[in-house]
């Protein structure tokens, strides 16, 4: 239950407030507004100017409070990432939920997090380990952030622009969360990175190689322990290999 609400005007002010116990960042509030027994103070980030989407060199910088819908509607958003964002949440939620809040709360079925893992997204994160002594952000790869979700304030997410990116999924219905999804990024150098989602607490990195050789085998190998009440591991191994192959065809 939210018992105290702050709306700082500057990042320094926000970090000072967040250094207090039981105080957390507030993005779109779609998760934080759910009833809980414990009191929590929130620091609303909406006045910090973090709602930008801007190309910089070969990357796109996405401010932490950009909503999923803003990113989906952006001319800079790769088409396959738009497909993944549409599956992440329905329109009403996408209009409120922020990119950072989504990464903090997501599970392994998150199509957005799976895509950011494949894109090797970089997060700017201010550590909130108390006491706060360092007012400089660290850069964390999505692959390091997602399994641990360290306490921190995310201010920006950076994704590469000069890449080929594909996303494929299988689900019970076209708009349902995936049973298996695959996101594939290929750089001009040939570097090929495959992430899989659809089960567990976080998406899985199946491959990050210098070329696409062995992609389907890597997809299968990443699903050995992917059994749950939605599907068996064997089903996911087959589906992941097929989706990985389709992703590769999409970008060829």
Question: Considering only residues 38-77, where is the footprint of ligand FAD by CB under 6 A?
Answer: 45, 64
Whether the CB-CB separation of 159 and 121 falls below 8 Å is answered with: yes
Binder to ligand FAD among 96, 141, 221, 242 (CB under 6 A)? 96
How many Å apart are CA 242 and CA 202, to the nearest integer? 21
Smallest distance from ligand FAD to CB 8, Å: 13
Q: What is the end-to-end Cα distance of the chain in Å, rounded?
A: 50
Copy the structure tokens of residue 195.
């992430």
How many Å apart are CA 32 and CA 37, to the nearest integer? 12
How many Å apart are CA 14 and CA 6, to the nearest integer? 9
Stretch that binds ligand FAD, among 69-77, 78-86, 91-99, 158-166 (CB under 6 A): 91-99
Residues with Cβ within 8 Å of residue 50, at least 6 apart in sequence: 63, 64, 65, 66, 155, 156
Q: Which is nearer to ligand FAD, 62 or 226 (CB)?
A: 62
Q: Does 105 bind ligand FAD (CB under 6 A)?
A: yes
Question: Considering only residues 144-183, where is the footprint of ligand FAD by CB under 6 A?
Answer: 153-154
Stretch that binds ligand FAD, among 73-81, 106-114, 157-165, 218-226 (CB under 6 A): 106-114
Binder to ligand FAD among 27, 63, 78, 197 (CB under 6 A)? 27
State the residues that interact with ligand FAD by CB under 6 A: 24-32, 45, 64, 89, 93, 96-98, 100-102, 104-107, 110, 153-154
């Amino acid at each position: 239950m939210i018992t105290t609400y702050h709306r700082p005007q500057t990042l320094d002010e926000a970090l000072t407030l967040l250094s207090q116990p039981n105080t957390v960042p507030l993005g779109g509030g779609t998760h934080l507004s759910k009833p809980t027994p414990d009191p929590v103070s929130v620091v609303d980030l909406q006045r910090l100017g973090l709602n930008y989407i801007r190309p910089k060199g070969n990357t796109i910088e996405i401010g932490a409070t950009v909503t999923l819908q803003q990113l989906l509607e952006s001319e800079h958003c790769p088409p396959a990432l738009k497909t993944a964002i549409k599956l992440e949440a329905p329109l009403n939620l996408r209009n409120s939920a922020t990119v950072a809040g989504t990464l903090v709360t997501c599970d392994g079925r998150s199509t957005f997090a799976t895509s950011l893992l494949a894109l090797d997204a970089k997060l700017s994160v201010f550590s909130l380990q108390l006491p706060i002594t360092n007012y400089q952000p660290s850069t964390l790869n999505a692959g390091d952030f997602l399994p641990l979700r360290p306490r921190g304030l995310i201010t920006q997410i950076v994704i590469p622009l000069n890449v080929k990116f594909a996303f494929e999924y299988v689900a019970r219905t076209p708009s349902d969360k995936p049973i298996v999804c695959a996101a594939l990024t290929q750089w001009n150098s040939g570097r090929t990175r495959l992430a899989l989602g659809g089960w567990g607490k976080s998406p899985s990195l199946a491959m990050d190689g210098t070329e696409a050789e062995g992609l389907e085998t890597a997809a299968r190998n990443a699903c050995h322990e992917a059994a749950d009440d939605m599907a068996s591991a064997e089903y996911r191994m087959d589906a992941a290999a097929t989706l990985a192959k389709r992703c590769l065809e999409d970008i060829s």
